[in-house]
Amino acid sequence: MTPAEALREKLAVAVFPDDLFGENCYLIRRRDTTSALVVDPGLQVERVLGRVRQDGLTVERILVTHGHIDHVGGVPQVHRETGAPIAMHPDDLAILDWERFGQMPFVPSGFTPFSIDTRLAHGTALSFQDMSLRVLHTPGHTQGSVCFLFGLDCFAGDTLFQRGIGRTDLPGGDTQKIIFSIRNVLYHLPPKTVVYPGHGPSTTIEEEMLLNPFVPSDR
Ligand SMILES: [Zn+2]
Ligand SMILES: [Zn+2]
């Protein structure tokens, strides 16, 4: 077993899509302890916290792939209830401001803005007990979009989807940048890497390099 496969054996990933946006919140937990991470809690936050309480989990960190409301709508609640620090790339702070001042669509009334405890950058390593995960800065869908890489598992937010890519028509979006990020960062991951996207089913780097109609591989 390779180190990456051994790492995967230790993790269990549960996905919680919300009903309005189909946004995937991921609850990543260790099989050998009660430690957990929450990726992108949105409108389904109550269901995610229900699972956390039911299973007696300790949320060690809230990981945010980008600042869009479907991915951060539940962040304040998870932070309040668990005390877990919030990790996000600071280049999306502008989006949180636009959401706060009513300049972005779909923001529910009563959304309380939050501050970042851990400011992420490309290559940041975050610990999860005796494991480490790596931050990949992949701007394009938003300026501060990141992916979280755990061995051969990649939590990709709205950068790469199964046969799709994130939209770039919202403020901060940039089509050239998202294509560059996918080609030069994500497509350089091992082909077996599983991609857990912000919407829709999971896929692999290999499948997308072969079949993604928006970003064909040039290799
Ligand atoms: Zn988004
Ligand atoms: Zn989204």
24 Cα: distance to centroid of ligand 2 (angstroms): 8
40 Cα: distance to centroid of ligand 2 (angstroms): 9
Q: What's the DSSP call for residue 29? A: E
126 CB-near residues (< 8 Å, 6+ apart): 61, 63, 87, 118, 132, 133, 134, 135, 148
Q: What is the largest CA-CA distance in the chain?
A: 51
Hey, what domains does the chain have and what are their CATH numbers? 3-211 (3.60.15.10)
60 Cα: distance to centroid of ligand 2 (angstroms): 23
Tokens 């991951």 belong to residue: 189
pTM for the model = 0.95
Which ligand does the CA of 42 lie closest to?
2
Local confidence pLDDT in tens for the 219 residues of the chain:
887 777 788 899 999 999 999 999 999 999 999 999 999 999 999 999 999 999 999 999 999 999 999 999 999 999 999 999 999 999 999 999 888 877 777 777 778 889 999 999 999 999 999 899 999 999 999 999 999 999 999 999 999 999 999 999 998 999 999 999 999 999 999 999 999 999 999 999 999 999 999 998 876
